[in-house]
Amino acid sequence: MSLHPTGMSLPPVREPTPPPYRGGRISYRSRLTLALVTAAVLPVAAFGGVALLFVGSSDPGAAVARVLILVVAVAVVFAVVLALLLAAELSSPLRAIAGSVERAAAGEEPASPELPGDDELSRLAESHRRLARDLARRARELRRVLDILESTTLGEAPGQLATRAAAQAREAFGMIDCQVLLVDPREIPNEAAVPGEPIPVRAVLVANGETQGVAVGHLPATRPWERADQDLFELFGLEVAAAVRNAELYARVERQNRRLVELDAAKDDFLRGVSHNLQTPLASIRGYAQQLAAERPDRRLGIITEQADRLSRMVRQLLTVSRIESGALRPRQEVFSPAPRVRRTWEALGVSDVPFTLDDRSSGWLALADPDQLDQVLWALLDNAVVYGGRTAIHASVVAGDVPGELTITIADHGPGVAEADRERLFERFERGASRPTGEGSGLGLYVSRELCRAMGGELVLEPVVPGRGAAFTITLPAEAAVEP
């Protein structure tokens, strides 16, 4: 009896088995029948031949010869029939064993015949019965292992999973005791097998090359434990290790998600607080700068006013983000013509060195939207067109949509456009294009603009690339036809 490195006892090494018997092309049953017929016919034929030699050729002898021939013929026929019956009887256990093997191979419950005696057929039947019992037992154990794997959940703590796996291993493998220890296997010494004592078994828990622990236990001394049993137990250990590792990763991800949610909530609170606290001082700075500029014109005061307006817009974006995230954004709905608002927003930008054209093809349709929120969207799109369009010509169009009840506003520049790598993430929070200068803008303009459009029942999209045109953004808004006077 040898000891496996995992601590289990292995059966003694057996001598190599002889090669299988090959009887040529004639079946075993045919050879057996032929042998029985030969054994039965040869003595009768020999007796008949000897008798014919002694009878002679006289008339009475000829009659006796004919009788002997008849008797020999009858004996041969009887021997052949008896040989066939004996061959069928002798091969029936082999047929039963073969049928049992086929049922076992098909996954059905095998049933090997019981043959009395201690000959080769009896030992073959006994070996097959033992093999059938082992196969059925391992099939049940494998089914229990699969049930164990199906019952594992990601939300279960690793310690609870190990405790439950130990209890399930005791039931699945018929063990006296079992423990699944999430420790270094080197801390648990190997047990030597002692004849007559419970058999120690052991399986190291390994998942993705990392050791998670070890499963140890004891089996009854009378319990057979072969290499296949140990392989199945080690498979159980591998699956438990994978479940433990998945549970640990899931718990880690859950902790990180909770931390991220907490950080996101803290960031939103910070943005709301900073935005509200900045509005008042910015309004004071802008007001005093305009007052001083009216009393004593100075270019520096104009720069202060411009930068205060820029910072005020950024604060307004932050306030809008906080309202979007909290669900407090409630746009009011008014009916108005959007083309004049596009013109006023462009004039408010005060960019005199950039060509601008407006094409109003609204055909009398009016937008149903929040004017202030639309102004914020238009300001962001026109400002982006000036800054990132390379101060090229900007074209705006207001068109009645192809779908009744829709109005579209498209703002396009003739700059380099948006890189293909940036198109998918351009509307995300705090995202900027790869070609934009570092620190330029807050990365909130397009995100806020799209959310404002959606809050008004519309949409904001980046149009596909067109040769000779830069970036083009289209606002879609609900609309209604103007009422005739």
Which pTM value belongs to this model? Answer: 0.44
The mean-pLDDT minimum among 79-93, 142-156, 287-301, 397-411 falls in 142-156
pLDDT tens for each residue of 343-400: 999 988 888 889 999 999 988 889 999 998 899 899 889 988 988 888 899 999 999 8
First-to-last C-alpha distance (Å) of the chain: 107
What does the alpha-carbon distance between residue 168 and residue 156 come to, in Å, rounded to a whole number?
15
- Does pLDDT of 9 surpass 60? no
Q: What letter would DSSP give residue 352?
A: T
**476 pLDDT band (50/70/90 cuts)?**
very high
- Does pLDDT of 209 surpass 50? yes
Mean pLDDT of 296-318: 76
| Cβ atoms of residues 369 and 478 within 8 Å | yes
- Does pLDDT of 111 surpass 90? no
b/e per residue, 35-68, with b = 16+ CB within 10 A? ebbeebbeebeeebeebeeebeeeeeeeebbeeb
pLDDT score at 6: 42
- Does pLDDT of 8 surpass 50? no
- Does pLDDT of 75 surpass 50? yes
**339 pLDDT band (50/70/90 cuts)?**
very high
| Cβ atoms of residues 347 and 474 within 8 Å | no
Highest mean pLDDT among 110-124, 276-290, 342-356: 342-356
What does the alpha-carbon distance between residue 369 and residue 372 come to, in Å, rounded to a whole number?
9
pLDDT score at 113: 60
Tell me which of 205 and 153 has the higher pLDDT.
205
The mean-pLDDT minimum among 15-19, 162-166, 203-207, 248-252 falls in 15-19
Domains of the chain: 26-128 (no CATH), 155-254 (3.30.450.40), 334-481 (3.30.565.10)
Q: Taking phi first (over 0 means left), then psi (-120 to 50 degrees means alpha), and beta for anything else, what does residue 327 get?
A: left
